[in-house]
Amino acid sequence: MSVKILVPLAPGFEEIEAVAIIDVLRRAELEVVTASLTPGAVEGAHEIRVEPDAWLDELELDSFDAIVLPGGMPGTRALMADERVLGLVKELALAGKVTAAVCAAPLVLAAAGVITGREVTSHPAVREELGAADGEVVGDPRVIESGAVITSQGPGTSIEFALALVARFASPEVAERLRAAMLVHAPPLR
């Protein structure tokens, strides 16, 4: 089964998170499409410009099987305010497909109403705000899979997060092979 994954990039996204996620997923030979909210390159929170594969309006959003949201500020707020992103998150969640977010981006999942009653994690700076959305917000483990909702905590957990996604979309064996090849100091994946 092939899976098509969208990684939207908003101005002020966290560069480490976005690039680590995209890189690891593509190493697993998964189809990843990066998309900007507006045409052209997107500047991250630390002034690194990234040229996305497409502009969101150029894509058939119903062709995606998953969405993975990098955090960062103000990128997360821009994703939260984008009706196309929120609509896709809701649509995927209703279909039981993966909605995933790291750092502050679980706030986007909360804004779309998909964390209610689920255990989630995030960057410590947004946990209180995230908790107001009726999710059970925890600080451990660093990556949490709650059904089809997958969350993680920040730049330092991005590779673990991406490997959990590889385990879900490809296989635990592919994720373990990548973890070993990249010398990732993390517990072996189940």
Is 103 part of the annotated catalytic residue set? yes
- How far does Cα 103 stand from its chain's mean position? 9
**Contact of 13 with 44, CB cutoff 8 Å:** yes
**Contact of 139 with 124, CB cutoff 8 Å:** yes
pTM listed for this prediction: 0.95
Of 157-161, 169-173, 175-179, 181-185, which range is least confident?
181-185
End-to-end CA distance of the chain: 20
**pLDDT tens digits, residue range 12-22?**
999 999 999 99
Enumerate domains of the chain plus CATH numbers. 4-181 (3.40.50.880)
In angstroms, rounded to a whole number, what is the distance separating the alpha carbons of residues 101 and 10? 14
User: Which listed residue (103, 115, 126, 174) is catalytic?
Assistant: 103
**pLDDT tens digits, residue range 162-175?**
999 999 999 999 99
How high does pLDDT run on average in the chain?
95
**pLDDT tens digits, residue range 123-138?**
999 999 998 877 789 9
Confidence check: pLDDT of 10 > 60:
yes
